[in-house]
Structures are given as structure tokens and as C-alpha cells.
Structure 1
């Protein structure tokens, strides 16, 4: 009885693990990625793809599948927001202390004074974007170039930061 493609691929299990570890994975993640590759191979064979290389599995194809799965996991992890315990503790301490209302009022007045010095167009773009509307959304609504609005907003923000 002839072995299936996945069974033949499993004969190189340790090679697949070594390949995935070379990408920078730990052992358990490498094992998970290799298992995902077996599933992908099975699905691809079900679709009718010819993944044979003579009597062996197409090693290059398996490498590309392993690399693709690894990169998808890596991208997903990169998007996750990570915070160190020290930052969390500092955040909690600041939250417990509350906001210094006098300092807040002084900074608000200073920002308002700076905004009065700005050109009306720059001030308006800054106010709209600072209130939560995205530059892209403002561009669509006003038919003004995205890059023009983006530059105006970033220049206004830089002006205020430099003055504070």
C-alpha cells in the first residue's frame, strides 16, 4: 500500500522542526507550525495539487509553507500591544494621584494662546483632527488633498510641541 503525501512528509518531521527553529522559533511554536504545515499539505492534496517530487514530498514547497505560516504568526504577534510591568505600575501611580487641575489649566491656556497665533486654516485642521476625525476622513469630506491636510496637521502639532 502506497503511503500518502502527509505520511511521507512526516518522515522528515525533525527536519521540518529544525527549519522552523532556524527562523527563530522556540520548540513548542515550531511544533505547532509543522502541524499546521501537515494540515495545509492535506488540504492542498485534496484540492488536487501535485506536491510530489519523484517519490518524495516537494521539500521547497514545504519550506515555503512553513515560512509563510511562521511569518503570519510573527506579524500577528508584532501587532499586539505589549506593555512592561514598570509602565503599568507608573500608569497606576499616575492614575491614583489624579490630574493636577492647576497644571492642566495652565497648559490648556498656553495651547489656546498658541492656537490663536496660528493661521486660521492650520488651526481648524488641527482642531478637527485632534478631536478624533482622521486625516483621511477629513480629506474625503472636504475634497482637500490627504497630503496637504496631513502636512498641515503635523506642522501644527510640531509647532505646539516646540512651543511647549
Structure 2
């Protein structure tokens, strides 16, 4: 396929604003995990987001184990369940790893990018060779590819 797919964290959804989430670009190029959908339960575009959610599979759960194995004992930067922080974060990296593995051997595989403001997610992604970007960078892409009515310009 050779597409770029942006896996968007909840903190990035907030930063992108409702206007950008409603665009054709977002619908065509962005995805979220089921855990992020849960975190975004109060988002005004929840129905639209639900259609973009990647299901949590057993393969993803196996990869969560791999991601968490790289976290030092006592390090709560990525996940702190007692503080109800970061429950979806390892799943972002795991989802990209599983999606990339599913296309291993393809001539033109999709390229997945995690969009987040969370430094711990960025660090975990880097340890596993996953590309990240800031919400402001995705916002620039969306704006460049979108007309005022939310339609694609065809420029990207």
C-alpha cells in the first residue's frame, strides 16, 4: 500500500482540535487504539473516532509485554496504574509493531507514525524503532491537505 498512517494518542487528539479531527485527511490517514478511544470517551467526535479505532488483538497484547519488558522496575513514566496514567501508552507502540510485522515482506509496506506529546511514549517508540511526531506536525499536514470545509485539497 505504501501509505503513512498516524496512530494518534489522546493528548494529541486534544491538541489537534475538533476541526482537524473532522477532516477527510484525519479519516483517511489517522487511527487510534481501542484504549485511546476509551480515554477519549468524552470527545465530541467520539463516533467518528470509533470508526478509526484499531482493535486490541492477542498479538498486540503480546507486544505490550515486549514493550513493557524494556521498562525498568519502578519506572512509572510510561504507565502508572495507581495514578490512572498511561494505560493506553504501551498499546500505541505495540499496535505499530504488530501492524508493521503484518506487512513484513511487502514491497511497499505502510509506514506507521505515533502522534503524541508524551515523552515516555516517544522514548518507548524510539527503543523499538517506531517513528513519532508531535501533534503540531500532524496539524500542519492536515491544514496543508485540507480546504476550509474539511475536504482534501489533493496537495498531499
- TM category, shorter: under 0.3
* Structure with more relative contact order (C-alpha pairs < 8 Å, separation 6 or more): 2
Is the helix fraction higher in 1 or 2?
1
